[in-house]
Chain A
Amino acid sequence: MTPRVRAAVAAAVVVLAIFLPVLLPGYRSQMALLWIMIVFASTWDLLGGQMGYNSFGNVLFVGVGMYACVLIQRDAHLGYFAGLALGSLCGALLSVALAALLGSGILGLRGHYFAIATLGLGVAAGELAGGWDFVGAGGGMVPPLFPGEVGGRETFFYYLCLALAAVTIPFLGWLYRGHFGLVLNAIRDDEDKAEAMGLRTTRYKTAAWCICAFFLGLSGGAVGNLLGFIDPREVAFAGSTFGVWMVLMAILGGKGTLWGPVLGAIIFHVTKELFWTYLLGWQRVALGLLIVVIVVFFQEGILGWARQRWPERFGHRVEQDAAP
């Protein structure tokens, strides 16, 4: 793509994103959730795709952010928007602190061991929250009511979630273009080599997970308020839905690329919503089948497949004329 085409596409996407609630007012909540899914898939890819560390516990940070946000909304008595803002920020910071703490322990694990350890984290967090009276235990929590007029809530959360994605994606893109992204890729390709070359791998791994935790914690507050109810196992630490979906979306679109997870999230979310609408009763079966199809046929993802097919379009070319 030439820069001009690229700019035109970018402009079209921005305009479309801004006017979607006007075009499809009935789908604002689903579209808000779509932006969240894009954030989920993209941040999962930071570790899973770029760094090669498959985490099944990233949902931990979503849940922590969600609970922290709603607790502050409940107990700080700041008014709706101030409470939401402060709550989201605190949720994000708490998630970062947690990632730093846990990361120093389990990021020393490699491959499958790391994946299993993170899986345990998500499950444990759900059980803990489900038994803790201060956060409503198994009964969950209900965020405060949105103060505006009817319908204003959906519009507000659509733009909030859009803003989250609009900050997350360019930030990740900036990360991947610099030194940080290269180090993550080096860790993915050969961590022993990276250490032998003197790179401080642990520091980068922890930082990457903290970045991930920041955006997930930040979006946790928005998700909790958007859905309007926090259940410890089904919404906050929903390993079997959000937790699995973020992995699938990234794989479907092409892990290790900036736009793959975005593409994967869009396709996955739209397909899922269609299943729920047109295959009611069989929607979970259909979703299960989709998951199997993704894992069997799209191991490299859509963009990964495209990169194998047209490597030169991704910049992998030989310059024979420059040969000495």
Chain B
Amino acid sequence: MLEVDKVRKSFGGLLANKDVSLRVPAGGIFGLIGPNGSGKTTLFNSIVGLHPVDAGSIRFEGREISRLRVPQIARLGLLRTFQQTRIYGGMTCVQNMVISVRASERSLRSMFRRTPPEDLRKAEELLEFVGLFPKRHLRAGDLSFGQQKLLELAMALMSGPRMLLLDEPTAGINPTLINGLLERLRKINQQFGITLLIIEHNMRVIMELAGYIYCLAHGELLAEGKPAEIQRDPRVLEAYLGAR
């Protein structure tokens, strides 16, 4: 579904991604781990078109997307959430949701359309799914950080994506709520059929969740494999968990 091939990206003299290649076939949950500053978020930004890559190719469902811009890639159904959660703080949760339907409008008239009732229904269902239904008329900016993260996830689902890139979905979330979130992420993957690529620092979470993991260090792909293999890989242990 997503093929990243020898992507290189540097900022000034800093080589943030050095010939990174990874493949994400449709259907699974994939993890992307690595120490701070190893280039995970840079890779996400490259994939979604936030900045152009210096070299290499990125294909989504067979289509080259490394030259497309952020909104164009989003409309193809490849969406990301942010490490620093981003929601529309001045709008209510429901408004946040209905504005997140996949922007397919081509005509001038559709820019001025009313919110269709089915969008509203879907918005409420998804708010129910993440447990924010009772707070749906609150300003999103008044929600707690964890709730905003859930709202951001629901917004991503609202647009009916084919694939989601999640940047640290459990960061800042109360440990007791993490299990509920894991459950939801599995449901998103299995019931909604959305392929997930997840950046995560919480080892327990990612080892439990992902079927396959890529590990970056110093901008390079260090290792890849099933969670058990990654956990045993001495290079990963050295780079990520500290030398023993």
Contacts and interface: CB of A to CB of B under 8 A. Distances in A.
B87 interface: yes
Contact of A179 (B74, B80, B92, B111): B111
Interface in B88-109: 88-92, 95, 98-100, 102-103, 105, 108
Interface stretch (B14-22, B132-140, B171-179, B217-225): B132-140
Contact of A196 (B80, B91, B95, B102): B80
Interface of A: 175, 177-180, 182-183, 185-186, 188-190, 192-201, 203-204, 207, 256, 311, 315-320, 322-324
Contacts of A194: 88
14 contacts: A179-B114, A182-B95, A186-B88, A189-B90, A193-B82, A196-B71, A198-B74, A199-B99, A203-B111, A311-B139, A316-B142, A318-B134, A319-B134, A324-B134
B86 interface: yes
Nearest to A321: B134
Contacts of A201: 71
A196 B137 contact: no
B75 interface: yes
Contacts of B74: 195-198
B197 interface: no
B138 to A, nearest CB: 6
Given A179-B112, A318-B135, A188 B87 contact: no
List the 8 closest A-B pairs by CB distance, nearest first.
Answer: A198-B74, A189-B88, A193-B86, A198-B75, A323-B134, A182-B99, A198-B103, A195-B70
Interface string B136-148: 1111011000000
A315 B137 contact: yes
Interface string B117-145: 00000000000100101111111011000
Contact of A195 (B71, B100, B114, B115): B71
Contact of A324 (B72, B110, B111, B128): B128
Contact of B86 (A183, A190, A316): A190
Given A178-B113, A190-B86, A200 B103 contact: yes
Interface string B48-85: 10000000000000000000001110110001101000
Contacts of B213: none
B159 interface: yes
Interface residues of B, number: 43
Nearest to A203: B111
Contacts of B128: 324
Nearest to A312: B137
A128 to B, nearest CB: 31
B232 to A, nearest CB: 36
Contact of B137 (A199, A256, A316): A316
Contacts of B88: 185-186, 189-190, 193-194
Contacts of B111: 179-180, 183, 203-204, 207
A198 B102 contact: yes
Contacts of A322: 133-134
A192 B74 CA distance: 12
A200 B108 CA distance: 12
A63 to B, nearest CB: 27
B150 interface: no
Given A178-B112, A182-B95, A182-B98, A200 B71 contact: yes
B75 A179 contact: no
Contact of A197 (B72, B90, B100): B100
Contacts of B139: 311, 316
Contacts of A183: 99, 111
Nearest to B95: A182
Contacts of B133: 319, 322-324
A175 B128 CA distance: 28
A316 B91 contact: no
Contacts of A256: 90
**Central interface residue in A179, A318, A320, by most chain B CB within 10 Å:** A179
Nearest to A185: B91
A79 B69 CA distance: 53
A173 B137 CA distance: 20
A182 B131 CA distance: 23
A197 B48 CA distance: 11
B138 A317 contact: yes
B93 to A, nearest CB: 10
